[in-house]
Chains A and B, each alone.
Chain A
Amino acid sequence: MKKGDNMNKNELNKLKEIANTVRRDCIKIQKIINSGHLGGSLSAVEIMAYLYFYKMNIDNKEPLKKDRDVFVLSKGHASLGYYSVLARRGFFPVEELKTYRQINSRLQGHTEIDSVPGVECSTGSLGQGLSFGLGLALGYKKKNINNKVYVLLGDGEMQEGQIWEALLLQGRLQLDNLIPIIDNNRLQLDDYCENVVGDWKMKEKLKAFKFNVIEVDGNDFNDIDKGFNALKPDKANIIISNTVKGKGISFMENKIEWHSKKMNDEEYKLALQELDNQGGEKDD
């Protein structure tokens, strides 16, 4: 794990390429199987790429090593992007991505714990990942293991009451090894979050829950890195990662319907063309 480093140009370019490769995977896999959530996978690509290819202390050869950092995808429907990140990071063969959501596959529609190396929590029913992460973080503290637990939440997911049970307790415990990250893409399945819950003042609420709140542009690696470097020791930290749902594909960005809509052939071609212009691996 790198602490306090500023990203150099090479690292930044490498991450950008990975993000693009993951986006291409998402587009290709969703097209092949005609199922899966594109919008919320694409918004979270940079955060997951940053964690898995830059920040986290992990080893694909020893996925369960004792002092590893742990990632929990609480917004389990973003498994499309998550599996791609894991595969590209070497936890299982990239080829296997094609089996996603298919019968007899290890890659379930929503993630299942230990189904493939690297997946550390079963999610899909929203609102549960933070509690699980809190249990992990508490357990690691008790065992004096010096690592971090990252939990990726959706902003729509924040409507679940269990999240606030967990936030309340973390406000009291102030575990600095637990880092919740909110993928704040401002859209949920039916509508814009704001239309569902009104102007709900996320930041103010989190501050009232005794969190050190850090806000970043979650589709910008430099800004993400700055945010992670601003985490305070001995404090309950939380990162609001402002993102664009459907990021990277112009006609999907900020569009409600691309939560889980399927692409026609023309849209597919266009999506890949757009990604061609953004770098990344192109081995079809």
Chain B
Amino acid sequence: MTKIMAPRDMHGKVLEELGEENDKIFVLSGDLAAATKVVYFGRKFPDRFLNVGIAEQNMIGIAAGLARVGFIPIVSTFACFAPGRTYDQIRQVIAYSNANVKIMSTHPGLAIGMDGAIHQSLDDIDLMRELPNLVVLAPSDEISTKKAIIKAIEHNGPVYVRIGRKECPTHFSEDKEFEIGKGYTLKGGNDITFMAHGSMVDIMYKAAVEMEKMGVSVRVIEMPSIKPIDKELILKAATETKGIVTGEDHFLYGGLYSAVCEVVSSKIPCIVKGVAVNDTFGESGKPDELYKKYGLTKENVIEKAKEILNI
């Protein structure tokens, strides 16, 4: 088996590749190029790279200005800073202005681990998906990350891309087309639906495999496009299975769980349970330990499924 690449590494690699064929790409770093991996781009295209310093708000404004002149600016920083520190800037000069800027946020969620609660962006999807004009993507593995970044750059308008820090086993196949607004059925099933983005895709997939052994037929959907969201696929799951369990390394409120509830409640009400961080801040620790403590586990997913199925 080939070595799996961390999404952030793929982010660095794909930008370096795209920079070759697309001279409009201009990468901005908030002094985190080594961590976000845009350092590769910076070395190869120093003329279209700028470390703006530890100044994220300024970086967002510069990106909007560069977009106005015809560049496709890539803002790269940690998810806790964009959007956490730059929400007002994103709202005014990116979303309201419909600027063709791509915000690549790495190191999201509890998965950043030992840096602790202040660095754990558990609210970024919530903040970004409420803004008009903005597309919000949260791919899982190296393949969906690569495809999501390519689509984000092709898309004419602002896009927020949430990019994982750690290696994630691949579920998104190379020959599958990535489309903004589409969810992907990784596994068919008729009893219950598991739906996830980012690092929770693999965990939910493993939970589904385990439930199959118990005789439960589980549908697994990867939902990398949080906004626009694949309403059709969600409503289909709500009709064809007895309920939906969502999974995400994010607060329960405002993320995928909320988005799915909004869709089903307006058309085909069904039980939706969310595996996410439930109204509490995280803390320092190894990612695996944190996932366990805060319930982002296979066991919790199965527990929630059992509650829905009454077994």
Q: CA of A163 to CA of B16 in the docked complex: distance in angstroms?
A: 31
- Asked whether, in the complex, the Cβ of B66 is within 8 Å of the Cβ of A165, the reply is no
Contact of B50 among A124, A138, A140 (CB under 8 A): A138
- Flag whether B34 is at the interface (Cβ < 8 A): no
Indicate whether B47 reaches chain A with its CB closer than 8 angstroms.
yes
Taking CB as reference atom, which chain B residue is nearest A127? B57
In whole angstroms, what is the CA distance A166 to B64 when docked? 14
Distance of A19 Cα from B61 Cα, bound (Å): 31
User: If A135-B61, A139-B65, A140-B69 touch, does A113 touch B97 (CB 8 Å cutoff)?
Assistant: yes
B70 at the A interface (CB under 8 A): yes
State in angstroms the CA–CA spacing of A169 and B50 once bound together: 10
> Which of the segments B85-93, B112-120, B283-291 contacts the partner chain?
B85-93
Knowing A165-B53, A169-B55, the reply to whether A135 touches B64 (Cβ < 8 A) is yes
Give the size of the chain B interface in residues (CB under 8 angstroms): 31
Interface pair A143/B53, CB less than 8 Å apart: no
- Tell me whether A122 and B65 are in contact in the complex, defined as CB-CB below 8 angstroms, given that A113-B97, A139-B70, A165-B53 are known contacts: no
Alpha-carbon distance A120/B98, docked complex (angstroms): 12
Determine if A121 is an interface residue (Cβ-Cβ < 8 Å). Answer: yes
Is A188's CB within 8 Å of the partner chain B? no
A140 to B68, CA, bound (A): 10
Q: Taking the complex as formed, is B62 at the interface, i.e. its CB lies under 8 A from any CB of chain A? A: yes
Q: Contact string, B89-123, partner A, CB cutoff 8 A, digits 1/0? A: 10111001110000000000000000000000000
CB pair A132–B69 under 8 Å, yes or no, is no
A138 to B26 CA separation, bound complex (whole angstroms):
11
Q: How far is the CA of A132 from the CA of B88 in the complex (A)?
A: 14
Determine whether B4 belongs to the interface, using a CB cutoff of 8 Å to chain A.
no
With the chains together, A96 CA to B142 CA distance in Å?
A: 52
Taking a contact as CB atoms under 8 Å apart, the answer to whether B61 and A142 are in contact is: no
A121: B residues at CB distance < 8 A: 64, 68, 93, 97
* Binary contact readout A118-147 vs B (1 if CB under 8 angstroms, 0 otherwise): 001111110111111111111110110000
Is A253's beta carbon under 8 Å from chain B? no
| CB–CB B92/A131 < 8 A | no
The docked-state distance in angstroms from the alpha carbon of A166 to that of B66 is 14
Query: Out of B55, B62, B91, B98, which one reaches A135, CB within 8 Å?
Result: B62
* CB closest residue in chain B, given A128: B61
A112 at the interface (CB under 8 A from B): yes
Cα–Cα distance between A121 and B96 once the two chains are bound (Å): 10
- Chain B positions 205-232 with a Cβ under 8 Å from a chain A Cβ: none
Residue numbers in A under 8 Å from B91 (CB-CB):
125
Partner of A132, one of B48, B50, B65, B98: B65
- B55 A165 Cβ-Cβ under 8 A: yes
Q: Is the CB of A134 within 8 A of B62?
A: yes
Q: Is the CB of B57 within 8 A of A136?
A: no
Tell yes or no: A161 within 8 A of B by CB: yes
* Chain A 174-193 near chain B by CB (<8 Å), digits 1 or 0: 00000000000000000000
Q: Are B47 and A132 in contact, CB atoms less than 8 angstroms apart?
A: no
A169's nearest neighbour on chain B, judged by CB, is B52
Q: Which chain B positions have C-beta within 8 A of A161?
A: 57
CB–CB A138/B65 < 8 A = yes
In the bound complex, residues from chain A placing their C-beta under 8 Å from that of B65 are 131-139
Q: Note all chain A residues with C-beta closer than 8 A to B88.
A: 125, 128
B179 to chain A, nearest CB (A): 28
A56 within 8 A of partner (CB): no
Known A125-B88, A131-B62, A165-B58; judge A112-B96 contact (CB<8 A): yes
In the assembled complex, A168 has its CB within 8 A of some CB on chain B: yes
* A136 to B68 CA separation, bound complex (whole angstroms): 7
> Which residues of the other chain, A, contact B47 by a CB distance below 8 angstroms?
142
Residues of A contacting B96 with CB < 8 Å? 112-113, 122
A165 to B58, CA, bound (A): 6
Contact residues in B for A168 (Cβ distance below 8 Å)? 53, 55
Q: How far is the CB of B110 from chain A (nearest CB, A)?
A: 29
Residues of B within 8 A of A139 (CB): 26, 65-66, 68-71
Contact with B along A249-264 (1 / 0, CB 8 A): 0000000000000000
Chain B residues near A (Cβ < 8 Å): 26, 47-48, 50, 52-53, 55, 57-71, 73, 88-89, 91-93, 96-98
Please give 18 more A-B residue pairs, beta carbons under 8 A apart, in addition to A132-B93, A136-B69, A143-B69: A113-B68, A120-B68, A121-B93, A124-B92, A127-B57, A128-B61, A128-B89, A128-B92, A129-B61, A131-B57, A131-B93, A138-B62, A139-B65, A142-B48, A162-B55, A162-B89, A165-B53, A166-B55
27 A-B residue pairs with CB within 8 Å: A112-B96, A112-B97, A127-B57, A128-B88, A128-B92, A130-B61, A131-B57, A131-B62, A131-B89, A131-B93, A134-B65, A135-B64, A135-B66, A135-B67, A135-B68, A136-B66, A136-B68, A136-B69, A137-B65, A139-B26, A139-B70, A139-B71, A142-B26, A143-B70, A165-B58, A168-B53, A169-B55
7 A-B pairs closest in CB distance: A135-B65, A131-B61, A139-B69, A165-B55, A165-B58, A135-B62, A136-B65
